Amino acid sequence: MDALRQIRDVVARHAEEGRAATALPRVELARFSTSTPPTGETVSPSVALILQGDVRTVLCKQTLRYQAGQFVVASVDLPVTCAIQATSRQPYLAFEMRLEPSIISEILLATPRAVTERTHVPSLATGTADPDLLDVIGRMARLLDRPQDATALAPLYEREILWRLISSDQGATVRQIGLPDSDVAQLSHAISWIRTHYDQPLRVEELAARSSMSVTSFHRHFRALTQMTPLQYQKHLRLHEARARLLAHPRDVADTGYAVGYESPSQFSREYRRMFGAPPGRHATQLRHPETPTPAQ
Q: For 91-116, b where at least 16 C-beta lie within 10 A, e where not — what string?
A: bbbbbbbebbbebbbebbeeeeebee
**3 state DSSP class of 24:** coil
Closest CA to 28 of 41, 13, 40, 16: 16
Q: d(Cα 249, Cα 271) in Å, to the nearest integer?
A: 19
Q: d(Cα 49, Cα 67) in Å, to the nearest integer?
A: 9
Q: What is the mean pLDDT of the chain?
A: 90
**For position 147, what pLDDT does the model report?**
95
**9 compared with 113, residue with greater pLDDT:** 9
**3 state DSSP class of 62:** strand
Given a contact cutoff of 8 angstroms between Cβ atoms, the answer to whether 132 and 73 are in contact is no
Given a contact cutoff of 8 angstroms between Cβ atoms, the answer to whether 273 and 14 are in contact is no
Average confidence (pLDDT) over 125-154: 97
Residues with Cβ within 8 Å of 12's Cβ and at least 6 positions away in sequence, in order, are 31, 91, 93
Closest CA to 16 of 30, 35, 4: 30
Given a contact cutoff of 8 angstroms between Cβ atoms, the answer to whether 46 and 96 are in contact is yes
Q: For 118-128, b where at least 16 C-beta lie within 10 A, e where not — what string?
A: beebbbbbbbe
Closest CA to 238 of 258, 265, 218: 258
**For position 53, what pLDDT does the model report?**
95
Q: pLDDT tens across 273-284, in order? A: 988 888 888 887
Confidence of residue 296 (pLDDT cuts 50, 70, 90): very low
Tally of CA atoms within 13 A in the half-sphere of 202 that contains its CB: 25
Given a contact cutoff of 8 angstroms between Cβ atoms, the answer to whether 279 and 273 are in contact is yes
Q: Is the pLDDT of residue 288 over 80?
A: no
Q: d(Cα 141, Cα 256) in Å, to the nearest integer?
A: 40
Given a contact cutoff of 8 angstroms between Cβ atoms, the answer to whether 65 and 54 are in contact is yes
Q: How far is CA 207 from the centre of its chain?
A: 22
Q: pLDDT tens across 38-91, in order? A: 888 899 999 999 999 999 999 988 899 999 999 999 999 999 999 999 999 999
How much is the pTM?
0.86
**181 compared with 272, residue with greater pLDDT:** 272
